[in-house]
């Protein structure tokens, strides 16, 4: 049976199409996550606007119009104005009149991870190496947004894997963390996503990921317990099957890095 596409429906946009419609400062961030300066296949980074241009709304796209997501900016800004009014503020007073635009631009930046192309991020940086011991990258800082309250949670990530004849470029691991952090998240899911991505991409013998983070939804509101830290882990392959491998991974996390 031949299925004829509905002529009234637009095709789903590709990653490239979605990125092209992003504001310049967000496209610059996506490019920064995906590629390194001078990396083969990397496109020139888009010049990000200055902080003053972002705050004052002077950043513009190639058509000279204010940089904004197509069709979404006015809806987002209208929603922020409504929130300000609902909490008893005047969205037209001088200190708040530009807040809806700022909030829209801020969320576009903080959720840039949705637009990162994993293939461009990896960019062939997988190498055949005769090495089968544990590789650990730790103390990777990240900042994300809790999807339940849209409040930040932030901390550090540790990622380990045991190669099966292939290793991934060192800088790619922090970029993978950044790709998943810049989304609306829960820490448990983000931990698993990082582990699954590495497992699927380089087919190692196993992967271990640990995230430690402070959640402002627990510090600023609710129970208001300052100093609370949440730890999550995901272990796959030999990290799950072998107690000694898992113990070795956790022992690496206890060691402090050497002084520079």
pLDDT score for 177: 98
Please state whether beta strands 230-237 and 206-215 pair in parallel, antiparallel, or not at all (unpaired): antiparallel
Q: What is the pLDDT of residues 97-123, one digit of tens each?
A: 999 999 999 999 999 999 999 999 999
Q: What is the pLDDT of residues 48-73, one digit of tens each?
A: 444 344 334 444 333 333 444 445 66
Report how far residue 128's alpha carbon sits from residue 16's, in angstroms, rounded to the nearest whole number. Answer: 30
Does 208 lie in the same domain as 138?
yes
Residue where one domain finishes, among candidates 115, 150, 185: 115
Evaluate whether residue 48 is within a structural domain. yes
**Residue 127 CB: number of other CB atoms within 10 A?**
13
> Token pair for residue 165?
């004849």
* pLDDT classification of 18: cutoffs 50, 70, 90: low
pLDDT score for 50: 40
Q: What is the pLDDT of residues 152-180, one digit of tens each?
A: 999 999 999 999 999 999 999 999 999 99
Model-wide pTM > 0.95: no
Evaluate whether residue 80 is within a structural domain. yes
| For helices 187-202 and 172-181, angle between their N-to-C axes, nearest 10 degrees | 140
* pLDDT classification of 6: cutoffs 50, 70, 90: very low
Evaluate whether residue 3 is within a structural domain. no
Q: Which residues are catalytic?
A: 146-149, 187, 215, 217
Does 164 lie in the same domain as 100?
no
| Environment class of 199 (CB within 10 Å of its CB; exposed 0-12, middle 13-18, buried 19+) | middle
pLDDT score for 24: 80
Report how far residue 96's alpha carbon sits from residue 28's, in angstroms, rounded to the nearest whole number. Answer: 27
Q: How far from 65 is each of 24, 70, 79, 81, 123, CA to CA, in Å?
A: 11, 11, 22, 22, 32
Query: Rounded to 5 degrees, what are φ and ψ at 144?
Result: -140, 180
For 99-120, the DSSP string reads: HHHHHHHHHHHHTGGGG--HHH
**Residue reference for tokens 């045991």:** 162
pLDDT score for 238: 97
Does 238 lie in the same domain as 133?
yes
Degrees to nearest 5, angle at CA 35 with 175 and 200: 50
Q: What is the pLDDT of residues 202-226, one digit of tens each?
A: 999 999 999 999 999 998 988 788 8
* CATH (domain of 89): 1.10.286.10
Parent domain of 48: 15-115
């Amino acid at each position: 049976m031949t299925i004829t596409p509905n002529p009234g429906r637009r095709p789903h946009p590709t990653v490239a199409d979605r990125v092209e419609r992003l504001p310049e400062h967000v496209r610059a961030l996506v490019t920064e996550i995906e590629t390194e300066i001078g990396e083969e296949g990397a496109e020139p980074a888009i010049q990000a606007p200055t902080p003053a241009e972002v705050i004052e709304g002077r950043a513009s796209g190639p058509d000279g119009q204010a940089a904004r997501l197509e069709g979404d900016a006015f809806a987002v800004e209208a929603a922020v104005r409504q929130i300000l009014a609902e909490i008893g503020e005047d969205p037209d007073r001088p200190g708040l009149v530009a807040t809806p635009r700022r909030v829209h631009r801020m969320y576009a930046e903080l959720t840039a991870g949705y637009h990162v192309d994993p293939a461009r991020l990896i960019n062939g940086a997988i190498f055949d190496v005769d090495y089968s011991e544990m590789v650990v990258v730790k103390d990777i800082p990240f900042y994300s947004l809790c999807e339940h309250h849209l409040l930040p949670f932030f901390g550090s990530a540790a990622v380990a894997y045991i190669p099966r004849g292939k290793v991934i470029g060192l800088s790619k691991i922090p970029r993978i963390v950044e790709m998943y952090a810049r989304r609306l998240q829960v820490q448990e899911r983000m931990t698993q996503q990082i582990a699954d991505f590495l497992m699927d991409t380089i087919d190692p013998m196993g992967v271990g990921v640990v995230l430690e983070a402070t959640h402002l939804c627990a510090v600023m509101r609710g129970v208001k317990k300052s100093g609370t830290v949440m730890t999550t882990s995901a272990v796959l392959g030999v990290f799950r099957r072998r107690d000694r491998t898992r113990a070795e991974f956790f022992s690496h996390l206890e060691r402090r890095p050497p002084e520079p």
